[in-house]
Structure 1
Amino acid sequence: MTLYDRIQQDMKEAMKARDSLKTNTLRSVISSVKMYLASSEEARSGELTDEIVIGLVRKEAKKREESIEAYRKAERDDLVQSESEELEILKSYLPEEMSPDEIRAVALKTIEDLKANNPSDLGKVMRELMVRLKGRVDGKLVNKIVRELLESR
C-alpha cells in the first residue's frame, strides 16, 4: 500500500469515526496531491511516488508550523492548539527526522568530500547535502549546522 493510499484509507476511517480534525487535515493533503498532479504535464505523466507524497505532507506540516508561530505571536492559544493537533496528525505520515548530531556527521562527510573550506561554499554543500538527506531533515536546521561548520574552518 502506498503512502497516498494509506492517507486516503485513514481519511475514510476518520470520516466514519466522525473525527473532523483528522478528516480535514487529511483532506488538505489529498487536495495538495491532486493540485500537484494537475500542476504540470510531467506530474500527470509520472508516477505518484511515496517520496513526492512525503514532500507534499512536509509542505502541509510546514504551513502548520508557520501558523502556530503566527498564532503564538498573536496570543491565540485556541488556534495554536488546533494547528498543533493537525501538525501531529501530519507528522505521523512523515519518516522520523534525523537528530542534529546525525546531520552534523553527514554534513562533515559532505564538506570533506567537496573539499569545502569557507562559508562561500555553503550553496555547494547544501545542494549535495539536501540530496543525501532528502525527506529526513528540516532545511533550516541543516543550513544552520552547515553554516556553523564552515565558519569554524
Structure 2
Amino acid sequence: MSLHDQIETDLREAMKARDKARTSALRMAVAALKNRAVADGHSPQGRCDDDTVQQVLGSEVKRRREAATAFRDAGREESAQTEEAEAEIYAAYLPQQLGDEELAGIVDATVAELGATGPQQMGQVMKAVMPKVQGRADGTRVSALVKQRLTG
C-alpha cells in the first residue's frame, strides 16, 4: 500500500473512531497532497508517489513546528500544543530521523570526499549531502553542521 493510500485509510479510521484531532490533521494532509498533485499537473484525484508524500509531509511538519513556536512566543500555549500534535501525526509517516552522530558521520565523510576546506565550499557540500539524507534530516540542521565543520 502506498503512503498516500495509507494516509487516506487512516483518515477513514480516525473518522470512524470520532478522533477529531487526528481526523482534522489527516484531512489537512490529504488536502495538501491534492494541492501538490494539481501543482504537478495531475487531477485532484491523482496519487502522489511516496517520495512526494514525504516531501509534502516534511514541509507540513516544519510549518507546524514553526507555528507552534510562534504561538508559544505569543503566549498561546493551547494553540502551540495543537500545532505540535499535528506535527507528530505527520511525522509518524516520515522515515526515522538521523541521529546527531549518524548525521555528523555523513557530513564528515562528504567533506573528506570533496576535500572541502573552507566556508566558500559550503554549497558544494550541501549539494552532495542533501540527497544522502533526504527526508531523514532537516536542511537547517544539516546546514548548521556543515557550516560548523567547514569553519571550525
Under a length normalisation based on structure 2, what TM-score does the superposition of the two structures give?
Answer: 0.94
- The whole-number CA distance in structure 1 between the counterparts of 2:118 and 2:87 is 37
Deviation at 1:47, TM superposition (A): 6.8
- The whole-number CA distance in structure 1 between the counterparts of 2:124 and 2:47 is 29
Q: Deviations over 1:33-74 (max 9, x none)?
A: 111111133x66x97321110110111111110110101100
Closer/same/farther in 2, CA of residues 24 and 120 from structure 1, 3 Å limit = same
Give the counterpart letter for 2:134 in structure 1: K
Indicate conservation of the 8 Å contact 2:61/2:90, yes or no.
yes
Q: Deviations over 1:75-129 (max 9, x none)?
A: 1011112112111111111111001111110001111111111001001100110
- The whole-number CA distance in structure 1 between the counterparts of 2:98 and 2:6 is 23
- The whole-number CA distance in structure 2 between the counterparts of 1:47 and 1:64 is 24
In structure 2, the partner of 1:106 is: 106
- The whole-number CA distance in structure 1 between the counterparts of 2:101 and 2:68 is 26
- The whole-number CA distance in structure 2 between the counterparts of 1:10 and 1:19 is 11
Give the counterpart letter for 2:110 in structure 1: T
Q: Structure 1 runs of 4+ off > 4 angstroms?
A: none
Aligned residues: 150
In structure 2, the partner of 1:56 is: 56
Give the counterpart letter for 1:34 in structure 2: K
Question: Is residue 121 of structure 1 aligned with residue 121 of structure 2?
Answer: yes
What secondary structure sits across from 1:9 in the alignment? helix
Indicate conservation of the 8 Å contact 2:68/2:79, yes or no.
yes
What secondary structure sits across from 1:72 in the alignment? helix
Q: Report matched runs for 1:125-144 at 5 Å.
A: 125-144=125-144
**Is there any run of 5+ residues in structure 1 with no aligned partner, and where?**
none
- The whole-number CA distance in structure 2 between the counterparts of 1:111 and 1:55 is 25
Give the counterpart letter for 1:40 in structure 2: D
Give the counterpart letter for 2:64 in structure 1: R
Give the counterpart letter for 2:107 in structure 1: A
- What is the CA RMSD across the aligned residues, in angstroms? 1.4
Under a length normalisation based on structure 1, what TM-score does the superposition of the two structures give?
Answer: 0.93
In structure 2, the partner of 1:72 is: 72
Give the counterpart letter for 2:113 in structure 1: D
